[in-house]
């Protein structure tokens, strides 16, 4: 039986679905170099830092830029992205997320956020859930992005909990790998085919409670 004292959530694709906004902003950016960013290539950007995402796109067109240029275009992309999310509110939360956060808070489970997005603090504020989080680790707070475990390890340290008593919720393979490397329980959000390293995979939080999630985790670990 697992003894869970904390949960750390990724942001994009787990709490909110901002993937469409990111895709639109990167797609527009890629056009500068006559690169057509497909949905398949965009999937590879999940859980990846802004700089590494741009480098991936540039590699599609065999384009090399210096660090100053890369930082410049990353800023332009982020400005475009921020304009797209300017009207975000609580309605953009994925189903049952707020109810689960409230349940965790009510029963004394510590809650953290671990996201590659440097805009994570802004997004949880715009969607009205920032008060649930006792630790927020964004891309601005780490040296090593996912699949390195630093994001989640720093979150656990800030919460004052151990990885072996913490569940990480992630929708990307890089995020799942980061959680497992850090010694956390990893629950995937999405398809089992895409998240093979996860301890269990659920489609989302709809119709699920914390006890229900832990029961699924126990059932799988005890097989």
Q: How far apart are CA 64 and CA 66, in angstroms?
A: 7
* Paired tokens of 212: 């229900």
Give the catalytic positions in this structure.
10, 12
Q: How far apart are CA 17 and CA 82, in angstroms?
A: 14
Three-state DSSP class for 93? strand
How many C-beta neighbours within 10 Å does residue 186 have?
A: 24
Q: Across-strand partners of 90? A: none
Three-state DSSP class for 28? helix
183 and 164 Cβ atoms separated by less than 8 Å: yes
Residue position matching structure tokens 């930082």: 71
CA distances from 83 to 24, 76, 88 (A): 11, 11, 10
Of 173, 138, 118, 125, the C-alpha closest to 8 is: 138
127 and 104 Cβ atoms separated by less than 8 Å: no
């Amino acid at each position: 039986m697992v003894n869970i004292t904390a949960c750390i959530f990724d942001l994009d694709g787990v709490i909110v679905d901002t993937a469409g906004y990111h895709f639109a902003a990167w797609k527009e950016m890629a056009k500068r170099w006559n690169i057509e960013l497909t949905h398949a290539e965009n999937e590879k950007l999940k859980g990846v830092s802004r700089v590494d995402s741009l480098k991936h796109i540039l590699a599609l067109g065999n384009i090399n830029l210096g660090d100053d240029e890369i930082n410049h275009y990353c800023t332009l992309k982020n400005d475009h992205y921020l304009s797209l999310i300017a009207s975000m509110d609580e309605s953009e939360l994925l189903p049952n997320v707020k109810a689960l956060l409230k349940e965790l808070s009510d029963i004394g489970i510590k809650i953290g956020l671990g996201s590659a997005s440097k805009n994570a603090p802004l997004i949880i504020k715009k969607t009205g859930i920032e008060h649930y989080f006792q630790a927020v680790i964004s891309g601005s707070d780490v040296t090593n992005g996912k699949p390195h475990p630093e994001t989640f390890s720093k979150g656990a340290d800030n919460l004052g909990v151990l990885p072996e008593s913490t569940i990480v919720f992630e929708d990307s393979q890089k995020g799942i790998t980061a959680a497992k490397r850090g010694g956390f329980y990893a629950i995937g959000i999405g398809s089992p085919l895409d998240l093979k390293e996860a301890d269990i995979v659920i489609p989302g939080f709809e119709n699920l409670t914390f006890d229900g999630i832990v029961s699924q985790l126990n059932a799988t670990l005890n097989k």
